[in-house]
Amino acid sequence: MIFLCHHLDEGLKTEYLVIKDPTTLWKNLKEIYDHQETIILLKARYDWLHLHLQDFKSVSEYNSAMFKITSQLKLCGENITDKNVLEKTYFTFHANNKLRQQQYRERGFQKYTELI
């Protein structure tokens, strides 16, 4: 119980100060936050659909956003493979870089980290 209370937000600590049973505390917190996975999943899917390489100033910024979104999707049970990430990246190349996209595809990268 001490471990659970130690990691609670200050506002929640005062709200659940009188609860001594860890099971009761867990059930109450689950009721409040159990829907968070659905919210995270919806936002991550939206971000995935609207992720474009050309919207970032650098590949590093794009890479960071890509890892954040894929981590959220995986947390919610989505199956995101390196092939999915590679295709997403190729697909989002700017129209002026279609030749570069084709060259990268021909190189046959198997992992997103190889491409980056």
Query: What six digits make up the tokens of 61?
Result: 């910024």
Closest CA to 16 of 52, 54, 4: 4
Residues 75 and 21 in one domain: no
Residues 22 and 41 in one domain: no
Percent of the chain predicted with pLDDT > 70? 84
Residues 70 and 48 in one domain: yes
pLDDT band at 97 (very low <50, low <70, confident <90, very high): confident
Query: What six digits make up the tokens of 78?
Result: 């989505």
Each residue's pLDDT tens digit, 49-63: 999 988 889 989 999
State how far Cα 113 lies from the chain centre.
17
Using CA atoms, how far residue 116 sits from 63, 73, 79, 89, 98, in Å, is 8, 20, 21, 10, 17
pTM reported for the whole predicted model? 0.67
pLDDT at 21: 78
Q: State which residues form the domain around 29.
A: 2-33
Residues 43 and 79 in one domain: yes
Using CA atoms, how far residue 15 sits from 5, 9, 10, 91, 110, in Å, is 11, 10, 9, 49, 50
